Amino acid sequence: MATNAPVQLAVLYGSDPTDRIVAVERVGQDRVRIFRRLSDDRVVALEDRLRPWVVVACGSLAVAIGASGTVVDLAGPHPLRHLVLYGSWTQYLDAVARLRDGQVHFHTFGHPVDQYLTLAGRTLFKGMEFDDAVRLQLDIETAGIDPQPADGAVLLVALSSNRGHREVIGGRGMGEAEILATLGQRVRALDPDVIEGHNLFNFDLPFVVERARRHGVPLAMGRDGSPPRIGGTQRFKAGARVIPYQSVGIFGRHVIDTYQQIQRYDAGGELRSYGLKEAIEELGFGRPQRVFVPGDQIRETFRDDPERVAAYALDDVADVALLAELAAPTDFYQSQILPRAYQNVATGGPGEKINFLMTRAYLAAEHSLPLPEESRGYPGGYTELRRVGVFHPVVKCDVESLYPAIMLTERIAPRSDTLGIYLQLLRELTGRRLEAKHRAREATGQDRARLHGLQLSFKVLINSFYGYLGYNRALFNDYQAATRVTLRGQEIIRQVVRELECTGSETIEVDTDGVYFRPPREVTDPAAEEAYVAMVGAALPHGIDLAHDGGFGGMISLKTKNYALMTRDGHVILKGSSLRSRREERAFRRFLDEAARRFITADQDRVRDLYLDLAQQILDRALPPSEIARWESVTEKTYTSESNRRIAAAAEGARVGERLLVYQRADGSLARIEDYAADEDLDYLLRRLRDMAERFRPLLPDDTAFNYRFPRLSARSDIAAQRAAQPVQQLGLF
């Protein structure tokens, strides 16, 4: 269990107990303005001194000090042993430029708010719950996707908040300049701490800023009356994906983009699309009465029926609020721990977060900092495909927080962590997560949601500790420690596999900390599965806990990390790059889902019918355009790489960061779905269908059996003749 010792709390939450801080901003050269939302919902502001800083080694000290730095000597053996403080932000920037020009080692954080919070021992939102902050949702509807043309106007703006506010700015008789001026006024009047929206960074905010510039409207959305600040292109990391975005800052407020947040929330890759409407539907939040207006019809619909567009925009902000309530609490509660602005927590990478915690603790102790070890490789987790085919029933077990558990039980930490902060943080986070999980199981309603968000925030940080050991920019990285953890993890999961096999199970796939297996025949229901997993886990070392992680009606195992699961209620889950891709056409995703279901349920006779039915629909051009189109993301390389010339032609006029639905024409070119003219490339689509079927080749005994089930087709194929073909009897297909 977590301890309440003050030293532990200071390490985890910072030494300063000031609560209800909702924002910190630099003002001038040497001050910060701190905004607190009091329990009666009033916002008060106070100011404090800002002392920008760097930490340098002895040989760099003269360069760092220049004519303005003040030095604090740090104790301990590490090379970064001098904290240099500056009287202004300009002096700090000059010093950093000198240090970079001299190519010397130093450590700092580039954002003044992060620097202030680190040295002050303060964090945001202490003593607050997710809904205590005022959160405003924003969505714009426009006459086009490009803000540059004179007629590319903002038609209206929808706003909602977690205080029950809902309004639309614009409509009949209100010009664009008035809409934008009113937007600034309403944001200041509602005074949100957080502004949420879907694709805010790459669309809504840059769009309104540009339109306001054209009209000479100040767009005063900041707490100081300033307009949004457009920064440079940055990178947002969600799992293996790296997404460019346009950074935007609003003084005294945090911008949270649910397009980013839902991608981090979807760690398992369950969602096929991260578009607002698509994500809401897949998550089960769809509302039958919701108004929908296709993007290419907004301008025309607004001209004829502006009230319908307004209702559509209000439904959009309601959907944004749902996604934020689902995905944003993790970063909100991490902001109570990390010395970072909420917006920076939400957009930052996992390794950076541990760097912030370690840096704050060491500087609070006035202790020197190490330099990162030189990057090198280290072993990965144990993965193995042990069986291919169709299996029923199937159970998954996994070792709970395998790597953190190993680090805690065997006290594996960075050798450079001379103060012992690393394991202290990990132990405290683990204890608090277990406590929050236990309380969440017994809670209901909003209290349960709060505790769930809290334990997820702890979980994300806990799972970052192992990766931090092998992060090349981590001050306290340790590749030897990372290797020890990985090898010990391999030993433990192999022990799980041995115990399963020795007790009558058939293991199917092993992946780092989890195992899919077909249990012994006597294990026939969820209670028996849990008891069986507990029995297997009893053989593991103390502190290593094996958990039941799901039971399934069936599983198709095809290759490593590529499989299909069918839940007991008949829902099919596809895993792995060969079975799911967000770029696949919807018709083919449906084919994969249904084909997997038929293989699992031994309804294999009808897999061939499914294939031929879809081929006939393709040949008849009977599929809606949305079924044969795929998503393409517009990136910086879309317009510069020769290999992207087809998509560049289709994307003409689109902004970097946008996602387009495109299909392939008969002449081989790509076109947007809104330009569909019954001219799709039939041969291409039939090849794509065959490619989808190739995923299931390992389930069939040979090429003859595969080619009967999934014959190669072209635009000239006679599907009726294919249906009439009989299998060779000696194949033993049925």
Q: What is the pLDDT of residues 303-312, one digit of tens each?
A: 999 999 999 9
Confidence of residue 656 (pLDDT cuts 50, 70, 90): low
Q: Which domain holds residue 402?
A: 372-413+478-579
Identify the CA nearest to 336 among candidates 124, 484, 149.
124
**Torsion, CA 206, CA 211, CA 217, CA 222, rounded to 10:** -20
Confidence of residue 1 (pLDDT cuts 50, 70, 90): very low
Q: In 601-681, which residue ranges form alpha helices assigned H by DSSP?
A: 605-619, 625-628, 645-650
Q: Which of 516, 547, 579 is the last residue of a domain?
A: 579
E-strand stretches of 449-589: 506-511, 514-518, 546-552, 554-559, 562-566, 572-575
Confidence of residue 3 (pLDDT cuts 50, 70, 90): very low
What average pLDDT score do residues 456-480 get?
93
357 plus 377 within the same structural domain:
no
User: Tell me: the pLDDT tens digits for 77-102?
Assistant: 999 999 999 999 999 999 999 999 99
Predicted structure pTM score: 0.87
Which string of b and e fits 642-661 if b means at least 16 CB within 10 Å?
eebebbbebbeebebbbbbb
pLDDT (0 to 100) of residue 731: 43
19 plus 61 within the same structural domain:
yes
User: Tell me: the pLDDT tens digits for 341-375?
Assistant: 999 999 998 888 999 999 999 999 999 999 999 99
382 plus 328 within the same structural domain:
no
d(CA 694, CA 702): 12
User: Tell me: the pLDDT tens digits for 227-241?
Assistant: 999 998 898 888 777
CB 461 within 8 A of CB 351: no
280 plus 140 within the same structural domain:
yes
Confidence of residue 728 (pLDDT cuts 50, 70, 90): low
Question: Considering only 134-148, 389-403, 650-664, 683-697, which range has the smallest mean pLDDT?
Answer: 650-664
pLDDT (0 to 100) of residue 657: 59
Share of the chain above pLDDT 90, in %: 74
What average pLDDT score do residues 557-578 get?
91
Counting the structural domains of the chain, the total is 4
Q: Which of 579, 600, 622 is the last residue of a domain?
A: 579
155 plus 281 within the same structural domain:
yes
148 plus 254 within the same structural domain:
yes
Has residue 450 been placed in a domain?
Answer: no
Tokens of 445: 């309603």
Give one DSSP letter per residue of 31-83, joined into a string.
EEEEEEE-TTS-EEEEEEE---EEEE-GGGHHHHHTTT-EEEE-BSSSSB-EE
DSSP state of 543: T
Looking at every residue in the chain, the average pLDDT score rounds to 91
For the chain, counts of helices (H) and of strands (E): 25, 26
The residue length of the chain stands at 734
**Alpha carbon 180 to chain centroid, angstroms:** 31
d(CA 467, CA 482): 8
User: Tell me: the pLDDT tens digits for 493-520?
Assistant: 999 999 999 999 999 999 999 999 999 9
d(CA 455, CA 43): 28
Identify the CA nearest to 9 among candidates 425, 449, 593.
425
User: Tell me: the pLDDT tens digits for 181-218?
Assistant: 999 999 999 999 999 999 999 999 999 999 999 999 99
104 plus 141 within the same structural domain:
no
Has residue 469 been placed in a domain?
Answer: no
Has residue 707 been placed in a domain?
Answer: yes
